[in-house]
A and B are shown apart, each in its own frame.
Chain A
Amino acid sequence: MTNHLFPLLQLCDSNFPSGAFSHSFGFETYIQEQLITDKASFAQALTVYLRKQLVFTDGLACSLAYEALDRKAEGDLLEADRLLFVSTLAQETRTGNRRIGERMAKLCVELYPSPVLIDYLTAIKEKRASGHSAIVFAAVAHHLKVPEETAIGTYLFASISSLVQNGVRGIPLGQTDGQRIMVDIQPNIDKAVKMIVGLIKDDFGAVSPGLEIAQMRHERMHVRLFMS
């Protein structure tokens, strides 16, 4: 395939049925605690989430998986999958990631099949892998010969975009404010990609504890809009 724009647009579409729209990954805790209340506080939270969380977890995993495929070291793909799973210490978020990952893997095997992706889905079904959207995304992008940095950037964009949609519903925010956030965050996504390609496997998972505690606390909240 020469045009990789279309598949990337498709994967990033907020209507893409990965199930991500059911998960806030801890953001709902801050919304209920009235710490995220408007466009400014939400945009600030997303920026920190991108730079201090996504870069070292999902983003770096996407890059590690992509580079493993470049080396034809598919075993390392499963290692990245395992690292993502065992470093997510809040159960709800871990389960959410796994569900979204498996659903995306099934869908993408239908839409953009490749031996690597089929093997990954098999590994998920046989419980040798947990399933994570970052790995699926890397596998699809690598198969479609999307350059690594484009792949990582698109993956980050999709993650943020889905959280913004959730924020619009959950805070709530106006649709225009949501779209404005997606414009303002673009330079930060570029920076995040540059950071990720400079990281090594040892850096994986290097995060601070706040969000994780928010994710754990979400499990104890009585009224919730989101599953995590």
Chain B
Amino acid sequence: MMTYTGVLKLQAKKKDQKTIISSCYYEGALKLTRPVYLEENSPSLYLIHVGGGYVDGDTYITSLAVEDGAELAVTTQSSTKVYRTPKKPVYQRMDVRLGKGSVLEFFPDPLIAYEGARFIQETSVQLEEESCLFFSDIITPGWAEDGSFFQYDWIRSKLKVFNGEKLLIFDHLMLEPDDEMAGMMQMDHYTHVGTFLIFHQKASKEFLDTLYETLADKFEEVRFGLSALPEGGLMVRILASNTGTIEKLIEHAHAFARKELLGKESVRWRKY
């Protein structure tokens, strides 16, 4: 059996009106805080990496199950740092399962890949028509010793969302800095990539258009696109030159989606 650097498994269930963490297991370098109830009935969890960051050959596996009707928010305590991987890329896998009428808001801090880092991330989400997923991902380059960006070797990120056997989206990003990467069609002279994904039954064309209106022209020095996904849901993809801009845009989109789709005000995850 394969030994992972970090394993984390948790399950959230609805009990009466409240969502509780019904089971939780972790070992190695992954941990999490006790649930914090920033809202009365739904817990927020902060994932923790024990140690400074991901190093050569590390492997991580996380699985999140949000059962029927349960509502859970997950974030991290700080950014994920991937350091040089001379021998073997870092591999991180996450499996998410969403039951009927469940809500998962997944907003980790950015991934920072440093000089010489190779990183593979594979995320698989299993959802049902009535489940709601808000999911974000931010990939950023770390500073190299000479003060420049873009010294990581490569980052490969795969995200698959299924409903039963049916593949709903396959998002595969490959970031491999070379002479051309900063140019047109690749990073378009930006350095940071952000993704915000929404699956919700009420995420209609009208919702998408209004979301676009609320985001357009509000953020400087950012380039983003927004589109309807093949089987419902939508994606915002963002390019920028710093993490802050992407976080602000995603926060704004998240707050709007929370209000329109869930009828909830935005929450602030106090971290530091």
Which A residues fall within an 8 A CB radius of B? 26, 30, 35-36, 44-45, 48-49, 52-53, 56, 82-83, 85-92, 94, 204-217, 219-220
Complex CA distance for A53 and B223, rounded to whole angstroms = 19
**Contact present for A52 and B186 (CB under 8 Å):** yes
Complex CA distance for A214 and B239, rounded to whole angstroms = 11
**Contact present for A45 and B184 (CB under 8 Å):** yes
**Contact present for B174 and A216 (CB under 8 Å):** no
User: Which residues of the partner chain B approach A83 to less than 8 Å between Cβ atoms?
Assistant: 167, 170
**Contact present for A209 and B184 (CB under 8 Å):** no
Which B residues fall within an 8 A CB radius of A? 156, 167-175, 180-181, 183-188, 193, 212, 216, 223-231, 235, 237-239
User: Which residues of the partner chain B approach A90 to less than 8 Å between Cβ atoms?
Assistant: 225, 227
Complex CA distance for A85 and B168, rounded to whole angstroms = 9
Pairs of residues from A and B, 6 with the lowest C-beta to C-beta distance, nearest first: A216-B225, A206-B174, A205-B172, A213-B225, A208-B186, A211-B185
- Supply 13 A–B pairs (Cβ within 8 Å), ascending by A: A44-B184, A89-B169, A91-B229, A205-B170, A205-B171, A208-B181, A209-B187, A209-B237, A210-B185, A210-B187, A213-B223, A214-B225, A216-B227
User: Which residues of the partner chain A approach B168 to less than 8 Å between Cβ atoms?
Assistant: 86
- A contact face: mostly helix, strand, loop, or mixed: helix
Most buried by B among A88, A205, A210, A212: A210
Complex CA distance for A69 and B180, rounded to whole angstroms = 35
Known: A48-B184, A52-B186, A89-B237. 7 other contacts (CB 8 A): A30-B185, A82-B167, A86-B170, A89-B169, A209-B186, A217-B223, A220-B212
User: Which residues of the partner chain B approach A209 to less than 8 Å between Cβ atoms?
Assistant: 173, 186-187, 193, 237, 239
**Contact present for A214 and B227 (CB under 8 Å):** no
**Closest B-chain residue to A208, C-beta based?**
B186
**Contact present for A86 and B185 (CB under 8 Å):** no
User: Which residues of the partner chain B approach A205 to less than 8 Å between Cβ atoms?
Assistant: 170-172
Complex CA distance for A204 and B216, rounded to whole angstroms = 32
**Contact present for A91 and B172 (CB under 8 Å):** no
Minimum CB–CB distance for B243 against chain A, Å:
16
Complex CA distance for A205 and B230, rounded to whole angstroms = 15
Complex CA distance for A85 and B11, rounded to whole angstroms = 32
**Closest A-chain residue to B181, C-beta based?**
A208
A89-B229, A216-B226 as given contacts; A210 in contact with B170, CB under 8 Å: no
Complex CA distance for A14 and B57, rounded to whole angstroms = 50
User: Which residues of the partner chain A approach B188 to less than 8 Å between Cβ atoms?
Assistant: 210, 213-214
User: Which residues of the partner chain B approach A30 to less than 8 Å between Cβ atoms?
Assistant: 184-185
User: Which residues of the partner chain B approach A85 to less than 8 Å between Cβ atoms?
Assistant: 230
Minimum CB–CB distance for B20 against chain A, Å:
34
User: Which residues of the partner chain B approach A210 to less than 8 Å between Cβ atoms?
Assistant: 184-188, 239
Complex CA distance for A211 and B185, rounded to whole angstroms = 4
User: Which residues of the partner chain B approach A45 to less than 8 Å between Cβ atoms?
Assistant: 184-185
User: Which residues of the partner chain A approach B229 to less than 8 Å between Cβ atoms?
Assistant: 89, 91
**Closest B-chain residue to A216, C-beta based?**
B225
Partner of B185, one of A53, A89, A94, A206: A53
A35-B184, A208-B186, A209-B193 as given contacts; A216 in contact with B237, CB under 8 Å: yes
**Contact present for B172 and A206 (CB under 8 Å):** yes
User: Which residues of the partner chain B approach A44 to less than 8 Å between Cβ atoms?
Assistant: 183-184
**Closest B-chain residue to A36, C-beta based?**
B184
User: Which residues of the partner chain B approach A214 to less than 8 Å between Cβ atoms?
Assistant: 185, 188, 225
Complex CA distance for A88 and B227, rounded to whole angstroms = 10
Minimum CB–CB distance for A191 against chain B, Å:
14
Complex CA distance for A53 and B183, rounded to whole angstroms = 14
User: Which residues of the partner chain A approach B225 to less than 8 Å between Cβ atoms?
Assistant: 90, 212-217
A207-B174, A213-B188, A219-B227 as given contacts; A87 in contact with B169, CB under 8 Å: yes
User: Which residues of the partner chain A approach B230 to less than 8 Å between Cβ atoms?
Assistant: 85-86, 88, 94
Partner of B228, one of A91, A212, A213: A91
Minimum CB–CB distance for B179 against chain A, Å:
11
Minimum CB–CB distance for A130 against chain B, Å:
8
Minimum CB–CB distance for B237 against chain A, Å:
5
**Contact present for B185 and A48 (CB under 8 Å):** yes
**Closest B-chain residue to A202, C-beta based?**
B158
A210-B239, A214-B225, A216-B226 as given contacts; A48 in contact with B172, CB under 8 Å: no
